[in-house]
Amino acid sequence: MQNAARRGSTLVIRGEITAQEALTIAGQVDGTIDVAGHIVTVEQGAVVAADISAAAIVVCGKVEGTLAAVTRIHLHAGAEVKGDLNAPRMAVEDGAIVQGKVHIAGQDRAAMVA
């Protein structure tokens, strides 16, 4: 199993993040995140003000921005998202908060996001 790039809990990043590997965010990110073909995980306590595009997105912390996933988006209990969600599959656990539009496509969006 490949290790994910991890951004620490005290780290603040402003700008554009692009990667060809999985990314775990524990701190603060302001900007855009594009992780083609991999998963982005926003850990509990993380604060992200960015549009996120990835194969899959898992949110345990706070995100303000549009989330677009090729395969799925999973919002854990305690997650807070202000922005639109776009994915063919979505899981929203009890206790997660979403303020925005939710679009669940009938098929993978690989051609649209990749």
Distance CA(106)–CA(100), nearest Å, equals: 19
Helix and strand numbers (H, E) in the chain are 1, 12
Distance CA(13)–CA(33), nearest Å, equals: 11
Question: For the chain, which residues make up each domain, given as ranges?
Answer: 5-113
Distance CA(45)–CA(28), nearest Å, equals: 9
Residue 56 structure tokens: 């899959």
pLDDT in tens, the chain (114 residues): 455 655 566 777 888 999 999 999 999 999 999 998 999 999 999 999 999 999 999 999 999 999 999 999 999 999 999 999 999 999 999 999 999 999 997 655 444 444
Record the pTM: 0.85
